[in-house]
A and B are shown apart, each in its own frame.
Chain A
């Protein structure tokens, strides 16, 4: 193996995920200690820690290309794994690694650049004969041009950031009057998120399913797909739940879409794990959306149904090995569902709720896999994403996976911040979800509430409020503490009160 030591240019659960596989492969790892999370859980999985906690610059080290290259060279690592987010899809970073004789565990800078630029990616897909939604040929200069193209292809249209991804910089425009405002919002958001205000326009496919294909390609031109994932359960283009396979695909459609995904990947000689995203409309027409040139958050569901370790494949490919797997070797078994448990308040429009996680315990059943970088005592910091854990549940079929998921969700115990748990508890009980009858518009159109509580939960909460009132006001020996306005009551103080009951 050429790769001896990997610098993990990432944090949280994905850093741990990569280090677990590296350990099995007997490759040592270096993790970065930062000032924001000096005691983070991922550090304990590394063979070596590079202490960067003295560095208090505003740009996180995970986004600082020169610093990362320096640290890698200093640490003696000869490879870098970028994980997802941060610099995972930065062609310049990949090139810098190569220039410094560091193996970048990911595709070539050329593939990253071409697929990262949505306008170029569209052109490539068009040339390769991949079905696509109608749209502008290149970037749109101003709202006049946007209006002209929109009237040509017909409303609704979607404005997308040329350098975008992950749902940012996307706006749907339903009528002429909305264009001016939406164009300006999308462009501003694109500039802010990707340092590039350029946007393009596409026909907006109403109520599609989000279906993506996992791709593996090596450096000598072999490319295969590992089947699909369905990620239609999203809020504002942010995925909440993913599953593999999709109940919307049969063998024939899987084969057809899989072949198209491989064809797209071939246009850039793709070499690593990657994902080709499609929209699937209600008539089962599919349209190429974009290719993500990184390992995805939702990769575990594919690992479960195929039995293939995607991180291992990434490392082997980066090491120059040929793919041992042929398309015919890929077999699918069972069903897997991933719930993204985030520190968000579902009762307040999924607003992020950063804070310290006081208690955390996760189910340990054989049908559950938990990928997390958080443990009791960890903090969800506002400067990073709000993920607490990925709860990945499997079953022999979709029905069993959902039943197992329902049980697993009730065994998750998190205290300290609000979480997306109540949302998933509702979702697994929803008839339309159970029947596979949902699209990317599910949250907006089919749900009137975003959480589940059983018939008696509110009553029990009312009992608790009443018993506190009794304690504070009515009992002879009541302390009669009048809390300062809005002051939080510590669990410690509460405990003292419980003991008086």
Chain B
């Protein structure tokens, strides 16, 4: 990376838009109030990979990493972060102010399973909470509902097909 020498800070942005900043060079210490606490990444046969912090072990796993995006499991909870430099963060701000807010919503399968029924057609108007797809998983039928009021742009599935978790089922134009 060309900017190596100029970067003095990194930001980890969570998927819920919380920002954590870390000074470079990155230390294995985190400051809480006036005290620094040592954070260590360790691994052994009994526990696998874990973070040791304030005398407690937390299980960690890197679930996925792709470019600057990291999905991390920490104490059995998943977090997704994008790590940004001051430059890339600035660029993001400029881009997002130009683009305006997105008006499209993709509805995905919350779990792997089989589509039993599709209740909406392309072009149909849907209301928030309206069932759109019936997904069967572990012998339970689940209604997949629209998260927004809008118009169905595209239906990506049909009855009797198997879907994976996070497969896009329906795209909706928010109205």
Q: Which A residues contact B (CB, under 8 angstroms)?
A: 168, 181, 185, 188-189, 192-193, 236, 345, 347-349, 351-352, 358-359, 361, 386, 413-415, 418-419, 421-422, 451, 453, 456-470, 472-474, 482-483, 485-489, 491, 494-495, 498, 501
- Cross-chain pairs A/B with CB under 8 angstroms, 20 sampled: A348-B110, A349-B111, A414-B76, A456-B53, A457-B75, A458-B79, A460-B53, A461-B72, A462-B12, A464-B72, A465-B79, A465-B83, A466-B81, A468-B65, A468-B70, A482-B67, A485-B66, A494-B43, A495-B49, A501-B28
Residue with the highest number of chain A CB atoms closer than 10 Å, among B68, B83, B110, B137 = B83
Which single residue of chain A is at the shortest CB-CB distance from B20? A462
Asked if B43 and A457 make an inter-chain contact with CB atoms under 8 angstroms apart, the answer reads no
Taken together as a complex, chains A and B put the C-alpha atoms of A422 and B58 apart, in Å, by 13
B10's partner among A359, A459, A460, A466 (CB-CB below 8 A) is A466
Which single residue of chain B is at the shortest CB-CB distance from A359? B48
Asked if A464 and B51 make an inter-chain contact with CB atoms under 8 angstroms apart, the answer reads yes
Task: Point out the residues of chain A lying under 8 angstroms from B99, CB to CB.
Answer: none
Which single residue of chain A is at the shortest CB-CB distance from B73? A418
Taken together as a complex, chains A and B put the C-alpha atoms of A236 and B140 apart, in Å, by 9
User: A451 and B77 in contact (CB under 8 A), knowing A483-B65, A495-B43?
Assistant: yes
B78 within 8 A of A: yes
Taken together as a complex, chains A and B put the C-alpha atoms of A236 and B138 apart, in Å, by 13
Asked if B20 and A463 make an inter-chain contact with CB atoms under 8 angstroms apart, the answer reads yes
Taken together as a complex, chains A and B put the C-alpha atoms of A359 and B13 apart, in Å, by 30
* Majority secondary structure of chain A interface residues (helix, strand, loop or mixed): helix
B165 within 8 A of A: yes
B30's partner among A347, A458, A460, A469 (CB-CB below 8 A) is A460
Which single residue of chain A is at the shortest CB-CB distance from B62? A489
B94 within 8 A of A: no
B92 within 8 A of A: no
- In whole Å, how far is A457's beta carbon from the nearest beta carbon of chain B? 6
Asked if B77 and A352 make an inter-chain contact with CB atoms under 8 angstroms apart, the answer reads no
Asked if B49 and A491 make an inter-chain contact with CB atoms under 8 angstroms apart, the answer reads yes
Taken together as a complex, chains A and B put the C-alpha atoms of A308 and B46 apart, in Å, by 35
Which single residue of chain B is at the shortest CB-CB distance from A469? B83
Task: Point out the residues of chain A lying under 8 angstroms from B64, CB to CB.
Answer: 486-489
Taken together as a complex, chains A and B put the C-alpha atoms of A264 and B76 apart, in Å, by 43
Known pairs A361-B47, A489-B62; list 18 more (Cβ under 8 Å). A188-B116, A345-B111, A351-B110, A352-B111, A386-B138, A419-B76, A458-B79, A459-B20, A460-B39, A463-B20, A464-B62, A464-B70, A469-B10, A474-B1, A474-B7, A483-B65, A483-B66, A498-B41
Which single residue of chain A is at the shortest CB-CB distance from B26? A470
